[in-house]
Structure 1
């Protein structure tokens, strides 16, 4: 297969994304106001809570069994590697550009977390439908391609909301602490600047939690105190790591899909033309098909914010683009090819293509949601997304062409 054919096959999905993104931007204009900010917010909630879980769950339930899961164990490791390398490169970029404190979490997250769900869900089925696709029959390619992309989305969602979420949260909380400290310095007698409570009388400074000595305390009281300490430490852990954020709807949909796929009784009752409960699977599949176009329209509307600009330095944008579109894909080729050489990845070219594609994707869109939640770097995030997603049309086309040539 010629390089020109591969280039055409890789460019068609990206052109489709551009057309749908442009339509979303048009619908979000003030003069049109069909997809305004409030509409995008509500539509994004429907995608987040309904469309994405249905898409992930239905695809995983239909394609995965215990046998197939044994072949795909490397994908979670591959996603973790992309996050680890991106974090290291992002940390280097922060040191070089001397980023402001409130942008450190945004920069680190943009370098570490790629759009592991929505972009593969759009690109891979479109490539499968092209005549020049090197991945075989279109229907089989699309079925397994969506399954690989769904697994990528589920793993990426766990890493994103457990790792990047807390980085952005800690970065924004440090800013709030500095503001609070400055306010207290300016007005030391303010009611909002109270001194920390001192330990109770009879407790030393080292025993700040008033952990009394065993003398004079019954065994029952010590057990109650021990249980209270466990509860207190668990609450502190919950505060530092948002456990609820780990179980996103997409992750829950993936868990349900895995259970249906690997448990024969559930699979036989829902999957297949003769399954008695096939209407559940069919309904979930219909809902899932709405996720891809809806997400692309929302993406187009959100990118309008970046046109207004902000005070973010150009060197920072260039650095993020170099990390995501040059350094990560090059390192990804070395890592995935090494895994193939040592027999860690099975011989399916489509699976290898998905692993390579995970290193070349633009930043995850949910990072924008996080900056909105914590009020740190929201306008800067829009500018970063505008440039990274605008250049992704060229980058994804070239890298997809090269990746297909490597695995074909």
Structure 2
């Protein structure tokens, strides 16, 4: 296949994505107001709680077996690599540009977390169905491609809500603490050599008094409860175990356990109507998500005070440095036998390094009030240029 043929195969899926995204932006205009702010919020909830879990669960259930699950073990480490490399590069960008404190979480999140769900969900089916696709028969390509993408979405959700959520939270807390600084003594002298240590989170942990004679023992059960509450609060476990993650777990159980698989998967399965209904729901996720991406990007047109060098740095990291690092890592893993020879699987692994920042970063910055307007501008520019970068 010549370069022009490959370029056509690569550009047409991106062009389809652009058309739907542009339609979403048009429908979200104030003059049209079909996808107004309230409509987008309700559709986002529908996608988050219903459509995405159905898509992830149905695709994994149909394609994942105990044998294929072993072959996919490299994907969680590959996604973790995108986060680690992106975080290091983002930290370097912060130091080079001397970005404001309240943007640190945003920059690290945009450099580390890619859109591992929405865009691959759009691109992979379009590539598989395109005439001249290098990944074989469209039906087989679509079946396994959607399984790879579904797994990528589920793993990416866990990493995003356990890492980016807390990075933005910590960054916003530092800014708030600096703005509302009050003098609290870190140590208060107690009578006769007793010292009270004021805990940072005094709502969760009691004041502890230490004496030269000894330390008061705390019941193990109480300490366990305090630790559990702290971990649940700090890591936002409800967000980590999102509906998409739960859908992935259900899909794995159906696919890996033969007894359940025989009941639900296949033309002769007695409960196949459940899987068919889930697939029908999941298929609606792709066009709706694409329209929502276009509608949400409109906020970036209002502009903000973010410096151009920060935007340029994020674009360079996501579209130049990370894809080059991804080629080295994935091809190296293939060379040493850590990744099996399926070209579609390798393509999905490479794509994880080349996608723009995750759209959920906008929701997190809005939640903590840390760089919300700047995030909209970053997403607008990165997704605008994604049409060129993803094609190549």
User: Where on the TM-score scale, by shorter chain, does this alignment land: which range?
Assistant: over 0.9
Alignment of 1:130-141 (within 5 A): 130-141=130-141
Alignment of 1:322-401 (within 5 A): 322-398=316-392
Alignment of 1:2-401 (within 5 A): 2-181=2-181, 184=182, 204-205=194-195, 209-210=207-208, 225-398=219-392
Deviation string 1:344-390 (CA, Å, 9 cap, x unpaired) is 01010100111111110000001111011111111100000000000
The corresponding residue for 1:191 is none
CA contact (8 A) 2:196 2:210 kept: no
**CA distance, structure 2, for counterparts of residue 325 and residue 338 of structure 1:** 20
> Please, what TM-score do these two structures have when normalized by structure 2?
0.93
Q: For residue 216 of structure 1, report the CA deviation from its aligned partner.
A: 12
Stretches of structure 2 that go unaligned for 5 or more consecutive residues are 199-206
**Backbone CA RMSD of aligned residues:** 2.1
> Please, what TM-score do these two structures have when normalized by structure 1?
0.90
**CA distance, structure 2, for counterparts of residue 48 and residue 199 of structure 1:** 52
CA contact (8 A) 1:306 1:386 kept: yes
**CA distance, structure 2, for counterparts of residue 81 and residue 197 of structure 1:** 41
Distance 1:388 1:304, change over 3 A: same
Moved segments of 4+, more than 3 Å: 194-203, 206-213
**CA distance, structure 2, for counterparts of residue 125 and residue 257 of structure 1:** 20
User: Alignment partner of 1:299: what SS?
Assistant: helix
Deviation string 1:109-139 (CA, Å, 9 cap, x unpaired) is 0000100111111101100011110111000
Q: For residue 205 of structure 1, report the CA deviation from its aligned partner.
A: 2.0
**CA distance, structure 1, for counterparts of residue 38 and residue 185 of structure 2:** 41
Q: Would you say how many aligned residue pairs link Structure 1 and Structure 2?
A: 384
CA contact (8 A) 1:269 1:278 kept: yes
CA contact (8 A) 1:106 1:371 kept: yes
Deviation string 1:128-165 (CA, Å, 9 cap, x unpaired) is 01111011100010000000000110111110010111
**CA distance, structure 2, for counterparts of residue 327 and residue 64 of structure 1:** 32
**CA distance, structure 2, for counterparts of residue 85 and residue 339 of structure 1:** 16
**CA distance, structure 2, for counterparts of residue 177 and residue 212 of structure 1:** 28
Q: For residue 225 of structure 1, report the CA deviation from its aligned partner.
A: 2.5
Which stretch of structure 1 is more off in the superposition, 201-210 or 342-351? 201-210
User: Alignment partner of 1:70: what SS?
Assistant: helix
**CA distance, structure 2, for counterparts of residue 199 and residue 278 of structure 1:** 70
**CA distance, structure 2, for counterparts of residue 3 and residue 204 of structure 1:** 77
The corresponding residue for 2:201 is none
